[in-house]
Amino acid sequence: MKKKIFIPAALHAAFFLAAATGHAQEVQDPREGWFELWHELLVDITVLGVVFATIALYLLIKYRRRHPDDVGTGKEVSTFAALSWVIIPGLIFLADDVYLGAKNFELWNVYRNVPKNAYVVEATGRMWSWGFKYPEGGGIETTNELRVPAGRPVEVKITSADVIHSLSLPYYKVKWDAQPGRSTHLWFYPKEPGEHVLTCVEYCGMMHSNMYGKVIVMPEKEFDKWVEENRPKGGSL
């Protein structure tokens, strides 16, 4: 089941979104998208920070008291100036907000729309381990170890057997809560083989910080071999 994001059409237009829900042919990597947007954002907030900090430093130095009985000479602003000092900065921030908001939705759409050819694994969080169930007939299961083939998008359907947990894959810049009684999902795009940490990031009691494991991304051939070797013998076929 692929969930389609519901975005009201008006919002769509307002945020200048070219319906990103459409292109399924070319799979976009959310991780790359994340880095791109993060770097842009970092520039954005650094520029704002440097501008404000410089102005603050300048004012703090320039207007230090020279004689003990000096008083400030700031004037009350006129109504026009008062309004301008609200509306103009307001509009500048607003413009930045709309811009960032639009960028955000593009990436959010990538995150929330799972590509059609994804390999689907089911994850269950419980106090205190992660169980994974693979789609191959008979059902392979692993604990604290998520094995996936390289070069193919992977969807993880997440639920919880007891309390709220959250499955985090820091390397792939993605996480989602495991809620009891609810099925949630995330997806990531493991392009290269390798091993990365996966861990719980929603407080779930005593051993919360021990609730971790690995994502093991295997070359496609090796992965197929692993599946064959671990397929339950004599099970349903």
Partner 1 sequence: MNTAEAGAVRSGLKEWIFTIDHKRVGVLYLFGSLAAFLLAGTMAMLIRTELLSPTNTITSNPTTYNVWLYFHGAAMILGFIIPSLTGFFANYYVPLMIGAKDVAFPRVNALSVWLYWVGVILALLTFVIPDPPDVMWTGYPPYSVITTGNTALYTFTVLLMGFSSIAGGVNLIATIILMRAPGMTWNKLNIFVWCTLGAFVLQLIFIPFLGNAVTLISLDKYLGTHFTTPSSGGSPLIFENIFWFYSHPAVYVMLLPGVGLIYEIVATFSRNRVFNYKGVVYGGILGSVALSGEVWAHHLYVTGNPDWLTIIITFTTLLISVPVGLLVIGLLGTLYRGSIEYRTPMLFAVGFIFLFLVGGLTGIPNAMSAIYMQLHSTYWIPGHFHYVMALSMTSAIIGGIYYVFPKLTGKMYNETLGKIGFVLLFIGFNVTFFLTMYMGVVYGMPRRFYSYEQFPEVHGIQQVTTMGSYIILLGALVVAASWIHGLIAGKRAPENPWGSRSLEWTHTQSPPPPGNFPRIPELSDDWGPYNYGKSLGATEEER
Closer by beta carbon to partner 1, 73 or else 236: 73
Burial class (CB in 10 A: 0-12, 13-18, 19+), 230: middle
Minimum distance from CB of 86 to partner 1 (Å)? 4
Element (H, E) at 43: helix 30-62
Contact 171, 165 (CB under 8 A): no
* Part in contact with Cu ion (CB under 5 A); list of ranges 11-19, 111-119, 192-200, 213-221: 192-200
Binding residue for partner 1, selected from 2, 194, 203, 224, defined by CB under 8 A? 203
Nearer of residues 158 and 218 to partner 1, judged by Cβ = 158
Contact string (CB under 8 A) for partner 1, positions 39-58, x = contact: --x--xx--xx--xx-xx--
- Adjacency order of strands within the sheet including 194-200: 145-149, 212-218, 194-200, 165-169, 174-178
Q: Are 200 and 166 in contact (CB under 8 A)?
A: yes
Among 103, 191, 208, 214, binds Cu ion (CB under 5 A): 208
The answer to whether residue 204 forms part of the interface with Cu ion (CB under 5 A) is yes
Q: Which is nearer to Cu ion, 200 or 215 (CB)?
A: 200
Spatial distance between the Cα atoms of 176 and 202, rounded to a whole number of angstroms: 10
Near partner 1 by CB under 8 A: residue from 140, 148, 156, 200: 200
